[in-house]
Structure 1
Amino acid sequence: MKKYVLMLSVILLITGTAFYKPIKEKIQEKPVDKNISFAIYKGADYTAKVYDCTYVQVQVTVEKVRDDKCTVVWDKTFDEKLLKQYPTAKNAIAEQINITGVFEKKEHLQVKYVLTYNSKGTELQMQGENVIADSANISALSPKGQLALVL
């Protein structure tokens, strides 16, 4: 009986050792890099006189979200300028961001933006956000595979 218990213990030990590394690798996820690209451009013709005093400031923030905790990993405010000075889609302001250390199974990225319009002292803010689960989902945000902030 002791011989069988000893033999069973040795077999279990060998089997456990053989499966330890593959199981450990599946449980311990390695962080990956995520790439986000977006473009800022005007979506209409703002050459009319009514837009002569209309300025726009754009703020874009990327957050890493894990459970209920949000951590800002990238933030940029584009200088305020006249709405008519923003480029068309053909010459859009392009920005590419590389976020390192994202655990895909536990975290996702969230892009938030605030457009602040100022016309003769009257301000209007428009806010929005897009959740990006992984790099492949970025193409769902706009036809060109970019997050597009259209003014």
Structure 2
Amino acid sequence: MTMTNVEEIEVNVRQVDEPSASVPNPTQMVEVIRKLVLAGVGALALSRDEAEEFINRLVERGELAQKDAQHLIDETVERLRKTTQPQTNQIQNNVTNISSQIESNLEQFLNRLNIPSKRDIDELSAKIAHLAGRVDELRRAQDAPPPKTKAAPKTEE
């Protein structure tokens, strides 16, 4: 018994619709990476708060002048920012690259299953709309009465 194309497509669609433990959800992976980046930013904010607390304790004990404390806090924050900014940029670039790779791999996976992409469906829809318009034009031309032609005036010789 052979499957028709429609049956094959239905089987392929069912297989893709069923959740699979072996194929991770790209959105979930990107979300995990995003949370890791946010955790890093949170750690930086916590480090700043802890540094400010430590410096404020030094001021309270008289081991550091108030004006020097603010300068030290600003300097520490700037140093942390300079240290973490390249890493943050690298992480953001990595997240973007990973997202692109996941999208590309998912598209290749779906292509191997012969599942049309949204772009394929949009292209086919546009072609169908164009052909439907052309069929309507041809029907109107066929149903329309032939144009009346005027007989050429007879010339007397």
Tell me the TM-score range normalised by the shorter chain. Answer: under 0.3
With the length of structure 1 as denominator, give the TM-score of the two structures. 0.27
Of Structure 1 and Structure 2, which has the larger fraction of its residues in helix?
2
Structure with max Cα Rg:
2
Of Structure 1 and Structure 2, which has the larger fraction of its residues in strand?
1
